[in-house]
Amino acid sequence: MAEEPLPMALVEQIRQELLREYPEMEGAEMVITPCRPSPASDVAAKVGWPTAGEAVETHHIITLRKDVPAEDGVTIPLILRVTVDAQGRILKERRGR
């Protein structure tokens, strides 16, 4: 089964939403990676998620990365990773420095 890419209009909408919250990420490199969530079957059964044989919605991980110089001249990587669903809803955010 081929992964459906996110429409560019939706990607741009997500990017604008992230830049409103994290303006320091302006000009950051963006990478989009499809992923399929695979919860443990017992956990999936408890919360009503599809199990192994059922279709699972594809999520996408959007990574924004930017290198910024510190006061002492050292380059610091800023990384923001968000997991979004096919509708562009942000499900999870992780930020690293």
pLDDT tens-place string over residues 2-12 = 567 888 999 99
Residue 3 lies in a domain: no
Domains contained in the chain, number? 1
pLDDT, residue 18, reads 94
Q: Of all residues in the chain, what percent carry a pLDDT higher than 90? A: 55
The predicted model scores a pTM of 0.74
pLDDT, residue 58, reads 80
Residue 56 lies in a domain: yes
Residue 32 lies in a domain: yes
Residue 42 lies in a domain: yes
Contact residues for 80 (Cβ-Cβ < 8 A; gap 6+):
18, 22, 25, 28, 63, 64, 65, 93, 94, 95, 96
CA distance 25 to 27: 6
pLDDT, residue 13, reads 94
Cβ distance 56 to 93 under 8 Å?
no
Residue 13 lies in a domain: yes
Report pLDDT digits (tens) over 86-96.
888 999 999 98
Report pLDDT digits (tens) over 33-42.
988 766 555 6
Question: Which residue range is the domain that position 60 belongs to?
Answer: 8-96
65 band by pLDDT with thresholds 50, 70 and 90: very high
Residue 74 lies in a domain: yes
Residue 39 lies in a domain: yes
pLDDT, residue 24, reads 92
